[in-house]
Amino acid sequence: MNGTYLISSYADKDAIKGLGARWDPLRRQWYVPDGRDIAPFRQWLPAGVSVETAVAVVPSGIDSSAEIALSKSKGIPLSKLLSGVAQAVADTFKAGVWTIVEVVDTRVRNGHVYLEVSERDTKGAITAKANAVIWATTANRILPEFQNATGAQLAPGIKLMVRARPVFKAQYGFSLEVDAIDSEYTLGDLEARKREIRERLQQEGLFALNRNLPRPWDYTRVLVIAPEGGAGLGDFQAEASRLESHGVCQFTYAFSLFQGDGAAQQIRMAMLSALEQIRLNHTWLPDAVVIIRGGGAVNDMAWLNDYALVRSVCELAIPVLTGIGHERDNTVLDEVANIRFDTPSKVIAGIEQVIVQRAREAQSMFDQTLRRSQRMLEQARRASTQTYTALEAGARQAIAHGRQASSEVFSGLKLEAAYSVRSASDTSQRVMTEVRHFASQQLGMARREVPALMTEIRTESRQALRSSKLQSEAQWNSIAQSTSASIRTARESARLLLDDTEAESTRTLRDAKERSQGLLREITGQGPEKTLRRGFAIVRNSKGLPVTSAFSNESEVQIQFTDGQRAARLKDPQP
């Protein structure tokens, strides 16, 4: 665009535009096109430009002989000097330049986004700083695209690659006008920080330490690290308080900032300090450490990608649970944690799920133990009955066998004796006597052995029955003791509940009694004497009854005051 650029303020735009000036959107400056008379624009011409020549001296600096002569005589105005600088900057940078900056501060006013940007060296020291602006129309175009692509927002600490045109204005000084942002660079920078932490921990063999710890089998005590007053903490505490009220799990809270400079260090110190306090004051450690915060932009979460913080979590000998609510990205803290959840609400839901599962398992084991004990008792009873029956049957069978054997022996002897008599009729009486004596011995032996066998069988049966009975009683006593303990626990809970109810009822009755007594004292304090002392009087008729109407038929009345009575006569009311 060819023409003479003007130095004007926002308030002059209507006047300049009415005179025929045009707007340069790239330089964001009004100019007079070539061929148009610049005399009407005299007051807005830059230093070194006259109406006669309409040629700016700024591109060649302010070292012309005319200006030098002027400076020797009286000097030049500051506005002309700075206007020359502005023209030189404008001629040098006619278009934007891609540059890498780190945002230090942001402000929004009337839709315009004002930034303070800087550059740091490897040690973190600032080597350059400037002010920048994204005009409202440009911001409405490029910021939604950047946020949709990265999930990040312009905030202190974020690194950007921007296309910026240097601008110098005499009234406002130097600034950068940003008209484009490279989303890929910001995503790459955020990912590079995470990749650097991840690779360093893997090289040191620390990355998977906490993640490989056994998951908590149950939750009875939990340490929670969170930003104080955050919405995510409120969601977590709503359910955690319910678990605490039932005595199921105890929660200890430590608070810290979760974004901004020093946030990672505060989180780390809050966690380690809380654990140290627990070690000093108690003999136990928590079952898990929970790190939670509500949702936010990607660069809000980027503060958690800190090597020292992540390493502390890796080296912690207690499982760490994370519930860092975010929509599209994760932190290295999530990657090294023992268990990762999306939101604080899901963390407490996971803890509650494990507690409920363990309670159900305990109830199931108790039911199984009870059923098994009942089966064992029934089996013992059946075994005792079967043993007794078997012993009784064995004894009867042994007796029957003994009797049969005795009968067979006796029958054999009889047959043998008869045969001997028949075959040797001439055998002497001596042989007969020996035979009879032998038979008597056999019969006596049989009579002695059978009772001894019966006694032995009965003794063994009693011992077996006594042993079964003792085992049954021991098992029954164990079950009875377990049942008695459960009954005592239930009775104690019922007694405590009854005591609480009785105390609450007593307190309620006492309060009602006190309020009733106060009301009664107030009522009794409103008697006629108190009313008379306030200046009122009571009018009574001859019968001592109060007269309450001015139109009463009574003529003779008594008026009672606080210190006595007076007689009076009532006159008829005037018509």
pLDDT number for residue 47:
65
Tens of pLDDT, residue by residue over 262-274, are 888 999 999 999 9
Distance CA 181, CA 506 (A): 72
Specify the higher pLDDT residue, 215 or 426. 215
Tens of pLDDT, residue by residue over 292-329, are 988 766 666 777 888 999 999 999 999 999 988 765 55
Tokens standing for 444? 């006596």
Tens of pLDDT, residue by residue over 217-248, are 999 999 999 998 887 888 899 899 999 898 88
Specify the higher pLDDT residue, 213 or 519. 213
Check whether 532 has a pLDDT greater than 50. Answer: yes
Cβ neighbour number for residue 333 with a 10 Å cutoff: 24
What average pLDDT does the segment 254-267 reach? 86
Specify the higher pLDDT residue, 355 or 405. 355
- Measured at the CA of 233, the angle between CA 230 and CA 235, to 5 degrees, comes to 115
pLDDT number for residue 457:
64
Check whether 381 has a pLDDT greater than 80. Answer: yes
pLDDT number for residue 49:
66
Which residues are CB-contacts of 320 (< 8 A; sequence separation ≥ 6)?
A: 210, 288, 289, 290, 291, 313, 336, 337, 338, 339
pLDDT number for residue 63:
44
Q: CA separation (Å) from 193 to 103, 120, 157, 188, 307? A: 17, 16, 13, 9, 9
Sheet arrangement for strand 564-569: 538-540, 556-561, 564-569
pLDDT number for residue 73:
47
Check whether 251 has a pLDDT greater than 90. Answer: yes
For a pLDDT cut of 70, what percent of the chain falls above it? 85
For a pLDDT cut of 90, what percent of the chain falls above it? 19
Tokens standing for 89? 């900057």
Cβ neighbour number for residue 401 with a 10 Å cutoff: 12
What average pLDDT does the segment 25-30 reach? 78
Q: Partners of 540 in the beta sheet?
A: 546, 558
Check whether 447 has a pLDDT greater than 90. Answer: no
Distance CA 222, CA 249 (A): 8
Check whether 417 has a pLDDT greater than 80. Answer: no
Specify the higher pLDDT residue, 453 or 515. 515
Please, are residues 500 and 510 in contact by the beta-carbon 8 Å criterion?
no
Domain ranges in the chain are 3-92, 97-181, 204-342, 372-521, 530-569
Confidence of residue 59 (pLDDT cuts 50, 70, 90): very low
Tens of pLDDT, residue by residue over 329-371, are 578 888 899 999 988 999 999 999 999 998 898 888 888 888 8
Phi, psi for 4 (deg, rounded to 5)? -105, 120
Phi, psi for 72 (deg, rounded to 5)? -70, -30
Mean residue pLDDT across the chain: 80
CATH for 204-342, among 1.10.3430, 1.10.490, 1.10.287, 3.40.50?
3.40.50
Confidence of residue 283 (pLDDT cuts 50, 70, 90): confident
pLDDT number for residue 67:
44
Please tell me which of 85-94, 223-232, 392-401, 453-462 the model is most confident about, judged by mean pLDDT: 223-232
Which residues are CB-contacts of 253 (< 8 A; sequence separation ≥ 6)?
A: 224, 226
Q: CA separation (Å) from 403 to 237, 368, 394, 408, 410? A: 87, 52, 14, 9, 10
Helix orientation angle between 344-423 and 231-245, rounded to the nearest 10 degrees: 30
We find that the CATH architecture of domain 97-181 is Beta Barrel (2.40)
Q: Which helix (H) or strand (E) holds 466?
A: helix 429-524
In terms of Cβ atoms closer than 10 Å to its own Cβ (0-12, 13-18, 19+), residue 225 is: buried
Q: Partners of 291 in the beta sheet?
A: 225, 322
Specify the higher pLDDT residue, 89 or 218. 218
Distance CA 47, CA 81 (A): 7
Specify the higher pLDDT residue, 258 or 525. 258
